[in-house]
Structure 1
Amino acid sequence: MNAAPSVGAVVAALMLVVGGGSPLPAQPRPAGSTRTDLQRHDLSVPGREVFQARVDFAPGAFFPSHTHPGEEIIYVLEGSLEYEVNGKPVRVKAGDVLFVPYGAVHSARNVGEGSAAELATYVLEKGKPLTVFVK
């Protein structure tokens, strides 16, 4: 009997199959989080692109308040995360989804005991930085 592949193995395979498009420029990342760029493509809507990445959070990691120049669609792959979106807390766990509207100020924290990960899909304005930190 074969075991099901791990989420990491599936993501790695997807990267090989759909890794088209160049990654967005690297930006400094808060400690405890990593981003693995999966795919980036122009959309049929002029001036817009889609970008998809896996974001991993170490136990206790916090990603501070920020915005994006577009929408973010989140699917939680593992663990438990708490987001604050426009001042409202939202707690999600593996298998849950979350929509972050264009320009919404939000942050994320791993509130579980182990690692956490999300599949983040962004519909963005082309040529703008992915993340703008808010003080």
Structure 2
Amino acid sequence: MKTTRIMATALLLVGSGLTLQMAQAQQLEIQRTDILQQDLGVPGREAVQARVDFKPGAVSIKHSHPGEEVAYVLEGSLEYQLEGRPPVTLKAGEALFIPAGVAHVAKNVGSGKASELATYIVNKGTALVVPVK
């Protein structure tokens, strides 16, 4: 019984370490820079703008947002896979509307760096990015 608990604890620690390493590796591949956070005229809602830079081949985690997102590609090419829809690839100067709560993934499919200006209209005081399994 004691051996089983020790093994379970060891596996949990190793798994946690691997998850942390994967998250840290992704942070090196994708960098978000917050630009603006402003209350809206609608109570409980706010606008948030961020620049998101993707290194070549970088892929976001599958996630959603507590409100709408408008993704505007500043440079490079990004592929967006919204749950229930075929993938769409955008290049610099193109935009995509992502409805509230829709799980999605973004991937740099170009040969160089890619960047987007993400504008979120979200519920104030909630996590901006919600990981989805």
Query: Which residue of structure 2 lines up, in the alignment, with residue 6 of structure 1?
Result: none
Query: Which residue of structure 1 lines up, in the alignment, with residue 78 of structure 2?
Result: 81
* Residue 53 (structure 1) aligned with residue 33 (structure 2): no
Distance 1:101 1:130 in 2: 14
What SS is found at the alignment partner of 1:60?
coil
The offset of 1:87, in angstroms, is 3.5
Distance 1:112 1:72 in 2: 22
Alignment size in residue pairs: 108
**1:34 is aligned with what amino acid?**
Q
**1:114 is aligned with what amino acid?**
G
Query: Which residue of structure 2 lines up, in the alignment, with residue 14 of structure 1?
Result: none
Query: Which residue of structure 1 lines up, in the alignment, with residue 107 of structure 2?
Result: 109
Q: Structure 1 length normalisation: TM-score?
A: 0.77
What SS is found at the alignment partner of 2:62?
strand
Structure of greater Rg: 2
User: Gapped runs of 5+ residues in structure 1?
Assistant: 1-27
Distance 2:61 2:122 in 1: 20
Q: Would you identify which runs of 4 or more consecutive aligned residues in structure 1 move more than 2 Å?
A: 28-31
**1:128 is aligned with what amino acid?**
T
What SS is found at the alignment partner of 2:60?
strand
Query: Which residue of structure 1 lines up, in the alignment, with residue 90 of structure 2?
Result: 92
Query: Which residue of structure 1 lines up, in the alignment, with residue 16 of structure 2?
Result: none
**2:114 is aligned with what amino acid?**
A
- Considering fraction of residues, name the structure with more helix: 2
**2:64 is aligned with what amino acid?**
T
* Alignment RMSD: 1.1
